[in-house]
Structure 1
Amino acid sequence: MTKKFYLSIALMVSSALMITACGGGGSEDETELSVWAMGEEGTLLPELAEKFEEENPEISINVQAIPWDTAHDNLLTAVASGEGPDVLQMGTSWVPEFADVNMMLDLTPYLDDYPAFNKENYFDGAAESMEYEDQIVGIPWYVDTRVLYYRTDLLAEVGYDDAPATWDELKDASTQLADRGDDYYGYDIDQNDQFVPFMFAWQNGSDFIDEEGNTDFESPEFMEAMEFYHSFFAEGITPTSGQLDIIQSFSNGQQPMFQSGPWMVNILNNDAPDIEGDWAVAPLPEKETNTSYIGGSNLSVFNNTDHVEESLQFIDFLVDEETQLEWFEISNTLPSRVDAWDDSRLDGNEMLSVFGEQLEETRASPQLPEWEAIAQEMIRSMERVNVGGADLQEEMEDFREKVEEDILAD
C-alpha cells in the first residue's frame, strides 16, 4: 500500500473529529493571523510576534502552540476539514506528505515581491526541502544537522589529536576505543535513527532514491555503505543489546564518540560538567563526501487562507537575517539564512561554527510522500541484521522489494 493510501485513511478518520483550528479574526480594521507553531517554538514565538505587531499595527498574531506528539494529527485534520491556520510550521520530513495533498500554498508567484524567499538565500540542503513538484511550498525557518561529538582526551590516548576525518580513521579510532575492555565501545549509533544508514549511503556516493521513486539499492555504493554501517555492530564497536544513555556513557568514557545535533551542546554543558574541556565537535568523517542530514522546520501558508498577503509579510519578517539572529538568541535554534552565519555569535563560536561548516555539506530527506514508510522499513531491516543475525545481502534484497513493490507501488 502507498503512503497516499495511508494518508487517505487517516484523513477519513480525522474528518470525523471535531478539531478545528483558529481562523482569521480581529477587529474591523485589523487582520488577525492564526499561526501554528510546534513544541517549544510555540511557547517562544509570541515574543517575536509582538515585535512584528509593533511594526505592522494592522496585523495581530495569534500563535497556537501545538505539541509535536499531536502535530501530525492536527495537520491531517486541517487538510480533511479545510480549516487550518494562516501560517504553519512544518517539520521538513513532513513536507512531501502534506504538499502531496495540496495543504500548502505555492509561493512561486510571490518570489519577486519577497526576495528573501529565494532558494539561494539558504543552505543547499534546506533549499531542497522548499520545493515539491516544482512548487515552492515552504521557507526554511531554522535548521539543524548532525556532527561528530568526541572525547578529545580519550581520542588522544589512541593516537588522534584531532577528530577522525575519514571513514578509515573513524573505524580505526573506534576499534581501538572498543578494545579497551569489556563494556567499552567506540562509536554510538542509535538504531532507531532513520537517517544514519542513508547518511552513510550519501557519503559513499549513493543517492539511493530520487524524487520519481527510482532506487539504487542494489548498487555497489549503497551496499558498501550498509556493510560499513553494519560492521560497527558486528565488530562490537557499537552495542546491539539495548541503548546506553548517551550522556552518561559519553561522560564516563564508555562511548567516546557519537553523532548528534546542536541541541546536544547545551545538554552536555548542563548535564556533564565534569568533562568540560575534554570534548569537542567536528564535521562528520568522509568517504566520497561527508554529507550530513539537514533537519529543522519550514514556514508555509495554508492553502485555504483568506490572508495571503499578511501571511507572506509575517514569514518574510521571520526569515529576515536580523530576525533570525534574534530568534537564535531566544530559541537556540540555528538560522537557515546563509548570510546570518557571518555573525560573530555563530561564526566566532568554537562549537557552533562547526555546525555552520557541516551545513555546507548537507542534504534533505528525499521529497517523497512515502519517505517515512521507507525509512521505517530500513530501521526494521537493519535491526534484523544487527540484532537478529539476518544476512545483510538477503535482507537488503527484501528491503528493495518491499519498497519498490509495496510502498512505492501505485
Structure 2
Amino acid sequence: MKKMNIKLFTIMLLCAVLVLSACGGNSNKSSGDKSDSKSSKTLNVWQMGNSDWTKIVGPYEEETGVKVKIQGIPWDKGHDKLLTAVASGKGPDIILMGTTWMQEFVDANTFVDLTDYLDEYPNLASDDFFDGALETSVFDGKTYGIPWHVDTRLLFYRKDLLGDVGYPDGPETWDDLEDAAKQLAARGKGNYAVDLSLTDANLVYSFAWQHGWDYEPDLGADNFTKPEFKQTIERYKTFYDNKYSQVEKGKELAQAFSDGTKPMFFSGPWDIKTIEDGAPDIKGDWDVRLMPDGGTNRSMIGGSQITIFKSSDNVEQALDFINWMSEPETQLSWYKVKNELPSRKEAWEDPLLADDPMISTFGEQLESVQAPPTIHGGEKVGQEIQKMLEKVARGGEDIDKTLNDLHQKVAKILKD
C-alpha cells in the first residue's frame, strides 16, 4: 500500500510538472510569437532612386518593432533589376516604382493586386488621392499601387523680364507665350525666351493635350497622325527655327535664368530650390504659373507608386507599412526631407504647403493633370518621339515626313 502510494504520488507529481511546463511553455510561446512578429520581422524594400526613406521610417519601426530594410536602387539600374526579380520570382516585399514603369510591370504580373484590401486600411481610400495619381496605379479596374509622391510641370518665369514685354504675370495662353518669346528673343544675340527640352517625351504629351490632342488606345499609332499632334510639333519647330529656344544645351539652368538669357522654362517643384540656391540674386523677380492654355492647360502627372512584390510572404505587414506611409503626417515629413509633393489631398491643407504661394500653384495644377498615355512599349515610343524632335529641331526635316516615320516606328513597336 505504501509502495502504491509512493508510485501514485510520483505519477501525480510528474503530471503536475508536465502541466506546469505546458502552461509555462504556452505562455512563453504566446509572448514569444508576439515578440517575434514584431522584433524579428523585416520588411525588405527597394526604393527606386535612393534609400532616403531611412530618414523617416524610424517612428514606424519603433511603433511596430518591424525592421524596415531599405535598399536604394539607381534609376539607371532599376529596370534591369526589376526584370531579373520578375524572372526569378525573388525580390523584396515592397517596391517604390516610378509611374512610367507601372504598365510594363503590371503586364509582367509583378505586383500584388491590392483592390480587395483598400477598404481595410483608412489611409488607402481612392477618394483621398489626386485623380491623376490614381491613373498611374489602376489598370483594368484593379489597383496595383498606392500613390506616394506626385509631381507635375509648371512654367517658371522671370516676372521682371516678362513684365517688360507685357506679361508681368506670365503668358496665360500658347499664343501669349509665342508673342512673349518673339519679343524676348529680339533682345539680341545670345538671348532666348524659353528652354524647351528635346529629351522629355512626357512634356510633348502635355503640350499636345494643351493643343487639343488625346491618345485613344484603339487608334494605336494613328494617334500620332492627328492634326493636333502635328500642330504641337509645328509649335516646337517655330520656337527652334526662330531661335526662341536654344537647340544646343547652352548655359546651366540657374545661370541662364539668373542672367535672363532664358527667362522661362518648364519644370517640376524640385527646381524651386534649384533657383533659390543657384540664383539668389533674383529673389522676388521670378515666379511659377499654370501651364499655358490652348483650350486646356492640362499638365502631366508623375511621381511614384508603392507596390507589393507578387512573391512577398509579408503582404499584411507590407499593407500596414503602406497605410502608415500614406498618413498625411508621414508624407509631410517626407516633403521636409526631399521636397517631393504628397499624393494625399489632406496633406495639402497643412500650412507648410497651403501658405507657400509657389507650392500651392503646383497644387492648383494637380487639379488639371493627366497621366502619360498607357502604351505598350511606352519607353521605346518615347525614344522615337525624342528622335523625331531632334530631326525637326536640329536637322530641319519636314514635319510630315518625320511624323510619318514616327507613325511607322510606333506601329512596329505596338505590333512587337
Same topology, TM > 0.5: yes
Match of 2:46 in 1: 36
> Are 1:409 and 2:382 counterparts?
no
> What whole-Å deviation, never above 9, does each CA across 1:208-264 have from its counterpart, x for those lacking one?
343884642222222212211221112210112344322111111100000111110
Trace 1:296-335 onto structure 2 (pairs within 5 A). Answer: 296-335=303-342
The amino acid of 1:47's aligned partner reads: K
Match of 1:172 in 2: 179
Trace 1:259-408 onto structure 2 (pairs within 5 A). Answer: 259-404=266-411, 406-408=412-414
What is the rounded CA distance, in whole Å, between the counterparts of 2:153 and 2:216 in structure 1? 21
Q: Which runs of 4+ in 1 moved over 4 A?
A: 26-29
Seen in structure 2, the aligned counterparts of structure 1 residues 258 and 342 have a Cα distance that, compared at 3 Å, is same
Trace 1:124-273 onto structure 2 (pairs within 5 A). Answer: 124-210=131-217, 213=220, 215-273=222-280
| 1:269 positional shift | 0.7
| 1:368 positional shift | 2.9
* Partner SS for 1:64: strand
| 1:188 positional shift | 0.8
Trace 1:99-110 onto structure 2 (pairs within 5 A). Answer: 99-110=106-117
For 1:46, which of 39, 46, 54 is the aligned residue?
A: 54
> What whole-Å deviation, never above 9, does each CA across 1:41-73 have from its counterpart, x for those lacking one?
x1x21232211122212x221111222222222
| 1:322 positional shift | 1.7
- Conserved 8 A contact 2:209-2:298: yes
* Partner SS for 1:284: coil
What is the rounded CA distance, in whole Å, between the counterparts of 1:227 and 1:320 in structure 2? 45
Match of 1:95 in 2: 102
What is the rounded CA distance, in whole Å, between the counterparts of 1:242 and 1:331 in structure 2? 27
More helix by share: 2
RMSD, aligned α-carbons:
1.7
Match of 1:121 in 2: 128
What is the rounded CA distance, in whole Å, between the counterparts of 1:213 and 1:119 in structure 2? 29
What is the rounded CA distance, in whole Å, between the counterparts of 1:34 and 1:212 in structure 2? 41
| 1:207 positional shift | 1.1
* Partner SS for 2:184: helix
What is the rounded CA distance, in whole Å, between the counterparts of 1:45 and 1:211 in structure 2? 40
What is the rounded CA distance, in whole Å, between the counterparts of 2:127 and 2:183 in structure 1? 43
| 1:154 positional shift | 0.6
Moved more, 131-140 or 340-349: 131-140
- Conserved 8 A contact 1:234-1:386: yes
Match of 1:4 in 2: none
- Conserved 8 A contact 1:197-1:229: no
**Consecutive unaligned residues in structure 2, runs of 5 or more:** 1-34
Seen in structure 2, the aligned counterparts of structure 1 residues 348 and 174 have a Cα distance that, compared at 3 Å, is same
Seen in structure 2, the aligned counterparts of structure 1 residues 350 and 287 have a Cα distance that, compared at 3 Å, is same
- Conserved 8 A contact 2:215-2:373: no
The amino acid of 1:33's aligned partner reads: L
Seen in structure 2, the aligned counterparts of structure 1 residues 214 and 337 have a Cα distance that, compared at 3 Å, is farther
Seen in structure 2, the aligned counterparts of structure 1 residues 212 and 225 have a Cα distance that, compared at 3 Å, is closer
Match of 1:71 in 2: 78
What is the rounded CA distance, in whole Å, between the counterparts of 1:377 and 1:245 in structure 2? 26
Moved more, 318-327 or 111-120: 111-120
Match of 1:62 in 2: 69
**TM-score, length of structure 2 as denominator length:** 0.88
Residue identity over aligned pairs, in percent, reads 44
Seen in structure 2, the aligned counterparts of structure 1 residues 401 and 111 have a Cα distance that, compared at 3 Å, is same
Match of 1:13 in 2: none
- Conserved 8 A contact 2:128-2:344: yes
* Partner SS for 1:90: strand
What is the rounded CA distance, in whole Å, between the counterparts of 2:88 and 2:235 in structure 1? 46
What is the rounded CA distance, in whole Å, between the counterparts of 1:99 and 1:307 in structure 2? 20
Moved more, 89-98 or 126-135: 126-135
For 2:119, which of 112, 115, 137 is the aligned residue?
A: 112
